[in-house]
Structure 1
């Protein structure tokens, strides 16, 4: 790589004290909350629950038919 010359140059005082005024402070920002479950996982769980409900309803309907037949 070619050496890039900086536009800025360092200036140090020849007399007196050198002081640095950069003070680090804590900066507060909004917390980044991550969902415990992803949207895809929630959709899969809903689909699974719907399938279980359908199977349960079918079993109940079959049991009712058997009870009526006896």
Structure 2
């Protein structure tokens, strides 16, 4: 993975997390609180896991274990 791809993936991850907040907010209006939580939770978890992966990858790059070219 090159640095440009890393940055694009980070932007996508933040976009996914933002999307989960939008889904929850709009979902509360349209389908109710509980259903909105059920719809937004998998999206939020996916975005969070992607951010964790990027953090680990950046940490490995900083210590020299797994280089981001």
TM-score by length of structure 1 reads 0.40
Query: Quick check: which one's helix share is greater?
Result: 2
Larger Rg: 1
